[in-house]
Amino acid sequence: MNEVKKRLSLGIFGKTNSQWATVYNEFTESFGKNSSIMVVFSISLFSFVFFAPGMPKMDVMCFAVEVKRGNKNRMGNVKTSSGLHVQFKQCSLFLGMCCLIICALFLLPGCLIHTGFWDPKSAGTPVIRDIQKEGAKMPLPFYFLEPPDIINVEAIHLAPRAPYRLRVFDVVIVDVIGTPAADPISGFFSVEPGGDIVLGSVYGSVRVEGLSIEETQETIRRYLSGTDENQVGGLIDPIVSVKLYRMGDMQQIAGNHTIGPDGFITLGSYGRVYVSGLTIDECRDAIEFYLSKHLDHPQVAVDIFSYNSKGYYVIFQSSGMGERVLKYPYTGNETVLDAIANTDGLQYNSSRRIWVARPVGNSNKPVILPVDWVDITAYGKTDTNYQLLPGDRVFVVEDRFMSLDGTLAKIFAPFERIMGFTLLGVNTATRLSGNVLQGGGDRTQR
């Protein structure tokens, strides 16, 4: 049969329950019980049956529903292959409200696709074998330094090249033979910021900054024997011995150093060294090579103080409050359970559907590792408690009902505000225009 047309006229108000049942059966036979529009019609029909009797009969409303298959519609000249034609003869306020409900039912599935009621992407099967997990972890490759990692440098052997000239904060050992027993000169002396070393309250201070060890020794001897213009005198042919105990610049080399955005670390007055992209051993060699320009066979030890450049992410999906993204530094021993524990557990709106998204180089196919949360926590299974790698994303899907609640809140929030503002305006206008304020509240003047 090339063309099948069926027309069904419904009177919304003024029908009995038996008449509504007859309408429902006719419409069921016309559209089929498995039709999605049949569901919408059923909801609307029973809404009319139960709620229409209590609504004010504003006017009699009638609309025609026609299902056709063919090339021509009797109700118009529009040619369509198949479809539903609804003609409204009269409208009422109740019909407008029902139309809004029907439109919301049609639009809701499309909105929920983006909110987690359905997962944005189903967790697939891992594309790599032998995934590292709890109980079967493996060491990772070499760690490459990047900003803003913090490294610790310890000075093992830092000896200056001869001739070394004293600087501020250098520490020297001075021993003088020939001083009175009550006022000896022996011990450690630091070069003060002014460039002097203080030999005591009796002998005063002598300037030694910029002098070599031999020149410092001769300067102190002349100062104590009275042959210098700033002499204190009193000692006859003193014998002075000066040794370098510690360089002040060593404190600038040893300690914690943060790798800057440009990849350099600063070694005080010795300058800056580029270490980004190097391993620990390569970083140590680079620092020793750079210091060899100023020191004699320097030796240092380098270790990582803080792993700041590598991390993993825990993402909590939320349709109402926005997704929550947390980043944690990577140390090489974290698992999925450790990652969730760092966030103080699952959120109140989180479901138990979790997976690990692992980026793979320049590939467009990410590795998705599904996580069985119940097996990990309730049964202690380790099959899906994967060992995390730098850059992994632990994605926690939002609970479906919480997602639905958040979506509905977003959809109806503007209408709630409009209705609230409208009700406030109506109440205010009623109060100001009613008999309450007439006569100033005096009933005898109304």
Mean pLDDT of 305-317: 91
**Exposed/middle/buried for residue 71 (C-beta within 10 Å: 0-12, 13-18, 19+):** exposed
CATH number, domain 311-401, options 3.10.560.10, 3.40.50.720, 3.40.1390.10, 3.30.70.260: 3.10.560.10
Mean pLDDT of 83-111: 51
Token pair 């926005």 is at which residue?
322
Q: Among 90-104, 299-313, 350-364, which stretch is predicted with the lowest mean pLDDT? A: 90-104
| Spatial distance between the Cα atoms of 386 and 138, rounded to a whole number of angstroms | 11
| Spatial distance between the Cα atoms of 207 and 38, rounded to a whole number of angstroms | 102
Whether residue 393 contacts residue 305, with contact meaning beta carbons closer than 8 Å, is answered with: no
Amino acid present at 361 = G
Where does the chain hold its CATH 3.30.1950.10 domain(s)? 150-157+250-306, 168-246
The residue among 206 and 40 whose pLDDT is bigger is 206
Q: Residue 51: pLDDT above 60? A: no
Token pair 């020794």 is at which residue?
217
Residue 67 sits at φ, ψ, to 5 deg, of: -110, 125
Q: Residue 299: pLDDT above 90? A: yes
**pLDDT band at residue 238, thresholds of 50, 70 and 90?**
confident
Residue 26 confidence (pLDDT): 56
Q: Residue 342: pLDDT above 90? A: yes
**Exposed/middle/buried for residue 414 (C-beta within 10 Å: 0-12, 13-18, 19+):** exposed
Three-state secondary structure call for residue 42: helix
Return the beta strands (E) in 128-254 as ranges.
Answer: 150-160, 171-177, 186-190, 196-198, 205-207, 239-246
Q: Residue 357: pLDDT above 70? A: yes
Residue 73 confidence (pLDDT): 42
| Spatial distance between the Cα atoms of 202 and 183, rounded to a whole number of angstroms | 7
Where does the chain hold its CATH 3.10.560.10 domain(s)? 311-401
232-257 b/e with 16+ CB inside 10 Å = b?
Answer: eeebeebebebebebbbbbeebbeeb
Q: Among 32-36, 156-160, 212-216, 358-362, which stretch is predicted with the lowest mean pLDDT? A: 32-36
Q: Residue 64: pLDDT above 70? A: no
Whether residue 196 contacts residue 206, with contact meaning beta carbons closer than 8 Å, is answered with: yes
Identify the CATH class of 150-157+250-306.
Answer: alpha beta
Residue (of 324, 319, 358) closest to 343 by Cα position: 324
| Spatial distance between the Cα atoms of 99 and 91, rounded to a whole number of angstroms | 11
Q: Residue 100: pLDDT above 60? A: yes
Number of C-beta neighbours around residue 192 at 10 A: 15
* Six-digit token string for 98: 């029902």
The residue among 61 and 253 whose pLDDT is bigger is 253
Residue 423 confidence (pLDDT): 87
Q: What is the CATH number of domain 168-246?
A: 3.30.1950.10
**Exposed/middle/buried for residue 364 (C-beta within 10 Å: 0-12, 13-18, 19+):** exposed
| pTM metric for this prediction | 0.55
Residues 6+ apart with CB under 8 A from 225: 231, 233, 235, 236, 237, 238
* Angle at CA of residue 245, ends 239 and 246, nearest 5°: 145
Percent of the chain predicted with pLDDT > 90: 31
| Spatial distance between the Cα atoms of 327 and 385, rounded to a whole number of angstroms | 19
Residue 365 confidence (pLDDT): 74
Token pair 């919304």 is at which residue?
12
Report DSSP state, residue 136: B
